[in-house]
Amino acid sequence: MKKLSHFDSAGRAAMVDVSAKEATKRTAVARATLAMKPDVIRALPNNKKGDPLQVARIAGIQGAKKTSELIPLCHPIPLTHVSVEFKIGARSIEVTTTATTTAQTGVEMEALTAASIAALTIYDMTKALDKSIEIRDIHLVEKTGGKSGIFRRR
């Protein structure tokens, strides 16, 4: 079994030293799903606060950019691109985010943060219609680049 990288030899939490790693193009895709009643989905275009999906898109991008401020041991990395896309179903909204960098460490946490923040923003903007909306299954879909290569969720 691999050892966890965020602990030093004494077992204390530590930021990983990536200074010896090569800067390469790295991309990560993450997803979150909001389960909600069909009437909430139908009401999206008429939200008094504005279009929840457009606000969530901006919030997701901001979240990706702030990841190292939110997750204590994440490196601040220069993002070259972040996208937030939505797939609307009869009873759900699927949020898919992509984060890209050319850096010495990956962007999985940035993509996951973007998906989480976008989903939370949709909840915030629609909770007046239904507080039972559920944010489900936040996960990494794919990552490319770096020493460990490609990962794709099955």
Angle at alpha carbon of residue 95, lines to 93 and 97, rounded to 5°: 170
Active site residue 17: no
Tokens 């990395």 sit on residue:
77
- The encoded tokens of residue 53 equal 């999906």
Q: Residue 139: left (phi > 0), alpha (psi -120 to 50), or beta?
A: beta
State the amino acid at position 29 in one-letter form. Answer: V
User: Considering 51, 124, 130, 137, which one is annotated as catalytic?
Assistant: 124
Q: How far is 64 from 83, CA to CA, in rounded Å?
A: 10
DSSP state for residue 66 in the 8-state scheme: T
- The encoded tokens of residue 59 equal 């919030």
Which residue numbers are catalytic? Answer: 124
